[in-house]
Amino acid sequence: MTTTIALGNCPSSGSTFLADLLDSTACSAVGPELNLFSIEALYEEESFRRFFLERSRCASVYLRRNGLVFNDLCAFGLNGQRLEQMVAGSEGLPDFLSKFARSFLALRGKSLDGVVFEKSPQNIHCVRQYLKKTDNPFVHIVRDPVDVFLSLKKRGFLSGIALITWLIDEAKIFEFADQDRVKIVRYEDLTERPFEIAADILRSVGSFDVDRAEVEAGFKSNPYRKYHTVKLASWNQKDFGKTETRKRRKLSDEEQRSLAALKNLKVSKAYAEIFDLPEVSFVQLLSKLGYEESFNSAIGNAEGDFELSRSEQYKLLRKFTGDLKHGDARLKDLGTYINPVETI
């Protein structure tokens, strides 16, 4: 099964660590983030041939629009012209995904019967289209929302945006979480058994004969990932070839109150309708993804209220104007864009 598989997630969930692991065998490869599967035009027959020129709106409150990352095509041995030729010579999406995978596997000197994972957090926003238009599995890594919030703040996200990013992005996976083709990996498990879990994923998506030892050996010596992957300065683990460990500092009283406010929030009905999301609550997501106990332990008895600041609403206003310009929003949607969540 030579193909390209989507890996998508909320940001700061450990997907780069997972990608490093999945790139560590002779039958699998992962390159830099291209946002390949986040582009809606990829899945429509009339727009497939030019999908790489299109940009899509997305539900994420920290992003405006999704489009192909042309600057990183070189890490796949491609440029815009060669990608266009590959698409033009493909019979459809499945054939293109196979050709893309074979090209990258050949470049890396790996088995042409292997698999490529396209790891981009934004891929989560087209999970419905992906599952409908391909027969491939979808890999999703999820992390405790407390740690996601702290990580995003450390990366410079505004507090309110950092708070609701997990709710909005994980809402995309809610109705698909129990499907056999959706492979969900918990970051907390990955840090405890990284090589075993990576080997399990490869065996499940392609029946590859991979064991823990092969993943570990490849992970500890992988020059490609070292030279083609960006590790953010805010991350605790920035060294290649080293596994990650869970570290969480003590939460301040203010952080506990901010996080506690999430328990009263859900995706707003209007925002859900615009961005094809379920009208799901934060508590429902905690339960579905297995973080209810750890979250309640982290916030204790704290209580809080949620309100986006003017700076955060301005950021969402700019998201709205971008979608309006491209014909993906209406003037009457402004209020919905700047109020993506509502109190239960």
Does residue 274 register a pLDDT over 60? yes
Residue 39 has pLDDT above 60, yes or no: yes
Q: CA-CA distance, 168 to 341, in Å (whole number)?
A: 8
Q: Two tokens at 210?
A: 């991979």
Beta-strand runs (E) in 122-195:
138-142, 182-186
Type of residue at 298? A
Structure tokens at 115: 């698999």
Do the Cβ atoms of 168 and 272 come closer than 8 Å? no
Give mean pLDDT, residues 140-150: 97
- Cβ–Cβ under 8 Å, residues 175 and 130: no
Report the C-alpha gap between 52 and 67 in whole angstroms. Answer: 7
pLDDT digits (tens, 9 = 90+) for 237-264: 556 556 666 677 789 999 999 999 999 9
What average pLDDT score do residues 116-133 get? Answer: 97
pLDDT in tens, 301-319: 999 999 999 999 999 999 9
**Confidence (pLDDT) at 137:** 97
Provide the token pair at 341.
């969540």
Q: Tens digits of per-residue pLDDT, 155-212?
A: 999 999 999 999 999 999 999 999 999 999 999 999 999 999 999 999 999 888 999 9
Distance CA 80, CA 83 (A): 5
